[in-house]
């Protein structure tokens, strides 16, 4: 087995997988996490924390459905508040999974193999958390939500297709559906491996059903690869389209601070930025707790920090563009909006997000920072905070002081706003802990393709 990980000196590129592994060792290590009969105590602690917050979410939703959205802090000028802030934040987090899985697969990037599986799962859980907010924002979803879908009805009512909120429904539902298919398709060979290695008859039956009769024949692999590449091709434009559509909620309005053509690429870059930060936040504890340093190596950590650096710089460029547009347009409303962000009552939030997303990200230029795992974990958490503050500033500071001073008002979230937000974090953590316990968090069959044994077998057949 590989020696303990040491900091890499000079320009030596860390390996994608530590040397010394074989087909069997990869399968034993990854499959053993699922098939072990003794669940680690740490897993129960983590799942317990997430489940407690999930119970808070259930209580909050129950109160919301009984009482109404008046329990939130929304008011007349700030009708879009915590619910839409959190919706955009969660959708952004889901971007990294599809980018890692689909785009890096099409570009034949081997370093994706260790992180794509749990990044895809993260995407699904983030989309589930995001979808709750616009659904519950309707107040009474059992009377309103189904009107968002174009199905024949006796009243002859159809969705307003000119509304970007309807575009959100189609973009997010398509994104979630394709991501689910892509994730499950990649799981099938690994589910068959777990089926064949499981000791319990009941577990073998469960994995047997989920593996869809997979036998690893040439025909199975041929059809699998065709389906996987097809789904990757479909998923690739979704990475660009779904958050662009979400940005249209703002960009097509006439409100200062929202009405900007830079929003689609700016939002997409921010989504990838926050998504990779969340992948880093999950990958670092996962590799430490389950001793996966041989599989999630410093190569993956370095590449993720480089992607975060690039997308973070694009986000910082978007911030500069907003200030430049406000000045260059000579529009008094745009100038007031920018001044209100910088010096108004929410100025602390604005300058905090600038400090995190535009200044702190410069630390990733330094190799010593990229080699410091603990520091990277803290920085990735801060990036998630900074991107949430960005959504808060975009939404609240543009709404609370609009064109008419007589309608101005301050926005303050209530305890139920915070309970809803932390509750979705509990839902996300609960689903993620269940995932890593009952399904392979790393793609076993893809990891086997990059071990030296696979290369020698390929050369022998060649």
> Along the 462 residues of the chain, how does pLDDT read in single tens digits?
444 455 444 567 788 888 888 888 999 999 999 999 889 999 999 999 999 999 999 999 999 999 999 999 999 899 888 999 999 999 999 888 888 888 888 888 888 888 999 999 999 999 999 999 988 988 888 887 888 887 777 777 788 888 888 888 899 999 999 999 999 999 999 999 999 999 889 999 999 999 999 998 999 999 999 999 999 999 888 888 898 999 999 999 889 999 888 999 999 999 999 999 999 999 999 999 999 999 999 999 999 999 999 999 999 999 999 999 999 999 999 999 999 999 999 999 999 999 999 999 999 999 999 999 999 999 999 999 999 999 999 999 999 998 888 889 999 999 999 999 999 999 999 999 999 999 999 999 888 888 876 655 544 555
Q: pLDDT value at position 453?
A: 65
CB-based contacts of 300, cutoff 8 Å, min separation 6:
16, 111, 114, 115, 283
- Is 232 part of any domain? yes
- Tokens at 133, concatenated: 């907010």
First-to-last CA distance in the chain?
28
Residues 222-256: b if buried by 16+ CB within 10 A, e if exposed? eebeeebeebbeebbebbbbbbbbbbbbbbeeeeb
Query: How far is the C-alpha of 5 from the C-alpha of 164, rounded, in Å?
Result: 49
- Is 277 part of any domain? yes
Contact 310, 125 (CB under 8 A): no
Query: How far is the C-alpha of 335 from the C-alpha of 86, rounded, in Å?
Result: 27
- Is 15 part of any domain? no
Residue reference for tokens 């300058």 = 351
Q: How many CB atoms lie within 10 A of CB 462?
A: 5
- Is 78 part of any domain? yes
- Is 460 part of any domain? no
- Is 253 part of any domain? yes
Contact 401, 344 (CB under 8 A): yes
Q: How many CB atoms lie within 10 A of CB 170?
A: 16
Concatenate the DSSP letters of all residues of 311-369 into one string: HHHHHHHHHHHHHHHHHHT--HHHHHHHHHHHHSTTHHHHHHHHIIIIIGGGGGGSHHH
Domain range spanning residue 114?
23-140+159-403+426-449
Q: pLDDT value at position 55?
A: 97
Helices 23-35 and 164-197: angle between axes, nearest 10 degrees: 110
- Is 11 part of any domain? no
- Tokens at 395, concatenated: 């939404």
Concatenate the DSSP letters of all residues of 122-172 into one string: HHHHHHHHHHHHHHHHTS-HHHHGGGGS----TT-----TTSHHHHHHHHH
Query: How far is the C-alpha of 355 from the C-alpha of 363, rounded, in Å?
Result: 12
- Is 322 part of any domain? yes
Query: How far is the C-alpha of 30 from the C-alpha of 453, rounded, in Å?
Result: 17
Name the domain count of the chain.
1
């Amino acid at each position: 087995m590989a020696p303990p990980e040491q900091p890499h000196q000079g320009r030596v590129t860390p390996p994608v997988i530590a040397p010394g592994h074989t087909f069997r060792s990869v399968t034993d290590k990854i499959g053993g996490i699922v098939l072990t009969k003794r669940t680690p105590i740490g897993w129960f602690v983590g799942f317990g924390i997430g489940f407690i917050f999930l119970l808070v979410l259930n209580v909050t939703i129950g109160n919301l459905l009984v009482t109404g959205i008046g329990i939130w802090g929304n008011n007349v000028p700030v009708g879009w508040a915590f619910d839409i802030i959190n919706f955009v934040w969660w959708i952004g987090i889901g971007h990294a999974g599809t980018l890692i899985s689909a785009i890096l697969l099409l570009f034949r990037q081997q370093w994706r193999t260790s992180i794509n599986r749990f990044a895809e799962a993260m995407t699904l859980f983030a989309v589930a958390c995001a979808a709750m907010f616009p659904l519950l924002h309707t107040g009474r979803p059992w009377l309103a939500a189904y009107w968002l879908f174009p199905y024949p009805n006796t009243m002859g009512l159809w969705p307003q297709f000119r509304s970007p909120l309807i575009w959100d429904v189609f973009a997010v539902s398509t994104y979630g559906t394709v991501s689910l298919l892509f994730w499950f398709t990649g799981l099938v060979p690994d589910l068959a491996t777990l089926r064949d290695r499981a000791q319990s008859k009941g577990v073998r039956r469960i994995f047997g059903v989920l593996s869809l009769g997979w036998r690893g024949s040439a025909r199975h692999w041929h059809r699998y690869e065709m389906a996987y590449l097809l789904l990757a091709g479909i998923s690739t434009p979704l990475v660009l389209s779904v958050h662009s559509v979400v940005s249209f909620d703002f960009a097509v309005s006439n409100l200062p601070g929202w009405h900007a053509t830079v929003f689609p690429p700016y939002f997409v870059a921010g989504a990838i930025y926050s998504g990779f930060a969340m992948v880093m936040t999950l990958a670092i504890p996962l590799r430490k707790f389950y001793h996966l340093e041989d599989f999630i190596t410093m190569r993956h950590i370095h590449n993720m920090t480089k992607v975060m650096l690039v997308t973070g710089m694009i986000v910082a460029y978007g911030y500069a563009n907003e200030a430049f547009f406000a000045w260059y347009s000579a529009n008094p409303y745009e100038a007031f909006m920018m001044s209100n962000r910088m010096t108004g009552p929410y100025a602390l939030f604005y300058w905090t997000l600038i400090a995190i997303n535009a200044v702190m990200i410069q630390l990733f230029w330094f190799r010593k920072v990229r080699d410091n795992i603990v520091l990277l974990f803290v920085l990735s958490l801060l990036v998630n905070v900074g991107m949430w503050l960005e959504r808060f500033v975009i939404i609240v500071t543009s709404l609370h002081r609009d064109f008419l001073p007589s309608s101005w008002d301050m926005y303050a979230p209530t305890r139920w706003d915070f309970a809803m937000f932390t509750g979705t974090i509990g839902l996300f953590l609960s689903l993620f802990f269940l995932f890593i316990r009952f399904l392979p968090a790393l793609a076993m069959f893809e990891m086997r393709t990059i071990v030296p044994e696979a290369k020698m077998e390929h050369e022998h057949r060649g």
